[in-house]
């Protein structure tokens, strides 16, 4: 665990910072910084407290340090002591309601920011409209003592991307903000971009250590691809390249005995449907009549483990910690709803812990398999994806032979599994590490910027 220090502000105008001896040892420091603001000061050793950094009200005002009692880390480089990290969480969809400033995502952000004291960081939420480019400040939303407060702070040390959807991610104004903060201000920006299923599959194919986890996947080109894969696997899935929440997923099953085709999907009213057709052409002309198939992929069907005749897959979260190392942080089983093509709760799926549906021995085996796969896939994606990744949510299946399969990787994983009361501690762990990774990125940006911006 890295060390963080209490920050004490005293009511005087002295340009002096009192530091623990561990900070001043063998180091010449001339300035103190918080986010993008810094000021030259004198440094003296704290006479009797090794856990506290003390500064005057004048220095606090100069570096725009908010008056929240949160312990922070101390980074030293180029004769500057940086306290932080100040972590900007970038999003969109703000409201005018002071109690729900981020609408229905307000509770999530409040819980995310509440890890500040245990992590030793100061996170805040902001959107493009809160940036003052002229003054180099941001009107940040802080969650303090169970309520929201806005405070003007400097540009942050790092930015955590929590844009809510692909539409906001493609907004030219928001793209400009990201590019400017990254390129002009050299602020590390982590978890940018929603993943494209086909793109992820093709990139992971480059790493032979993980190809065994990849089901056969193709862009939809023609019916012949469908026929070949159905004869090979018996059933296939057709999915949108950029889909989420299981929307638009169709399962096609071929019955060799009757020469019939079945399709399972959820219609626009949210009803799970199972329909039968005599030819694949009739099936497509009926079900996909008003849909473009250019943005769809065709994926090998897997005979998954089942619970009471319902398919099971798994959500596995991985996060990087304050040292930049990957950890498996949560596993939950998702059981498909009756007649549903996916395991999503919106389609009647249920979230269970592994202990609820498997024996103790099976739990041990499956946890190990899922954890190994998720960590290997995380490292592989780290190598082949542009930008900085700090967390991934994987949808993974295990077939009846015990083989592990990757269905989807999510750069901004949903948190529905944490509604299960037994997964509360993992909810906290994933939130803590989401912010703790900013500690690592801050240190890297100060000491080894060439590694981040190469």
Q: Which pLDDT tens digit goes with each residue over 199-232? A: 899 999 999 999 999 999 888 887 788 889 999 9
| Strand-pair partners of 409 | 394
Distance CA 187, CA 429 (A): 25
pLDDT of residue 310: 86
Core vs surface per residue 187-204: b (16+ CB within 10 A) or e: bbbbbbbbbbbbebbebb
CA nearest neighbour of 428 among 117, 150, 140? 117
pLDDT of residue 10: 94
For β-strands 73-77 and 31-34, DSSP reports them as: unpaired
pLDDT of residue 26: 65
For the cut 70, the answer to whether the pLDDT of residue 35 exceeds it is: yes
Residue 365: partners with Cβ closer than 8 Å, 6 or more residues away? 402
pLDDT of residue 438: 97
94-103, 161-170, 411-420: segment of lowest average pLDDT: 411-420
For the cut 80, the answer to whether the pLDDT of residue 191 exceeds it is: yes
DSSP 148: E
| Strand-pair partners of 137 | 132, 154
pLDDT of residue 344: 59
CA nearest neighbour of 178 among 193, 196, 200, 165? 193
For the cut 70, the answer to whether the pLDDT of residue 394 exceeds it is: yes
| Banded model confidence at residue 338, pLDDT cuts 50, 70, 90 | low
253-262, 297-306, 345-354, 402-411: segment of lowest average pLDDT: 345-354
pTM, two decimals, is 0.90
Average pLDDT for 353-359: 94
Core vs surface per residue 123-152: b (16+ CB within 10 A) or e: bbbbbbebbeeeeebbebbbbbeeebebbe
Portion of the chain with pLDDT greater than 70, in percent: 96
């Amino acid at each position: 665990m890295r060390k963080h220090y209490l920050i004490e502000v005293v009511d005087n105008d002295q340009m002096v910072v009192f530091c623990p001896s561990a900070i001043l040892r063998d180091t010449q420091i001339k300035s103190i910084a918080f986010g993008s603001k810094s000021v030259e000061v004198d440094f003296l050793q704290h006479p009797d407290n090794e856990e506290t950094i003390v500064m005057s009200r004048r220095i606090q005002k100069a570096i725009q340090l908010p008056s929240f009692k949160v312990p922070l880390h101390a980074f030293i480089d180029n004769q500057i002591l940086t306290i932080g990290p100040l972590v900007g969480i970038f999003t969109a969809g703000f409201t005018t309601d002071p109690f729900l400033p981020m609408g229905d995502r307000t509770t999530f952000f409040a819980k995310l920011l509440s890890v500040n004291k245990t992590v030793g960081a100061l996170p805040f939420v902001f959107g493009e409209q809160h940036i003052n480019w002229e003054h180099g400040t941001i009107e940040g939303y802080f969650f303090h003592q169970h309520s929201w407060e806005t405070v003007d702070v400097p540009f942050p040390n790092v930015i955590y991307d929590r844009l809510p959807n692909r539409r906001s991610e493609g907004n030219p104004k928001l793209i400009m903000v990201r590019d400017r903060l990254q390129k002009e201000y050299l602020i590390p920006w982590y978890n940018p971009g929603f993943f494209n299923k086909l793109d992820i599959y093709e990139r992971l194919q480059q790493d032979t250590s993980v190809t065994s986890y990849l089901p056969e996947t193709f862009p939809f080109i023609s019916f012949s691809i469908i026929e070949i894969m159905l004869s090979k696997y018996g059933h296939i899935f057709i999915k949108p390249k950029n889909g989420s929440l299981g929307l638009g997923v169709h399962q096609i099953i071929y019955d060799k005995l009757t020469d019939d085709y079945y399709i399972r999907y959820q219609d626009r009213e949210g009803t799970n449907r199972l329909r039968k057709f005599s030819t694949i052409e009739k099936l497509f002309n009926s079900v996909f009549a008003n849909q473009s198939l250019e943005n769809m992929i065709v994926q090998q069907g897997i005979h998954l483990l089942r619970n009471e005749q319902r398919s099971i897959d798994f959500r596995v979260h991985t996060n990087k910690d304050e040292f930049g190392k990957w950890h498996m942080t949560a596993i939950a089983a998702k059981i498909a709803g009756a007649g549903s093509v996916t395991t999503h709760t919106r389609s009647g799926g249920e979230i269970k812990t592994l202990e609820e549906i498997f024996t103790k021995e099976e739990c041990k085996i499956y946890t190990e398999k899922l954890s190994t796969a998720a960590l290997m896939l995380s490292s592989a994606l780290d190598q082949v994806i542009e930008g900085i990744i700090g967390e991934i949510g994987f949808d993974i299946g295990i077939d009846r032979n015990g083989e592990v399969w990757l269905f989807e990787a999510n750069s901004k994983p949903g948190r529905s599994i944490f509604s299960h009361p037994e997964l509360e501690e993992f909810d906290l762990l994933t939130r803590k590490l989401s912010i703790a990774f900013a500690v690592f990125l801050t240190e890297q940006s100060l000491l080894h910027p060439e590694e981040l911006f190469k």
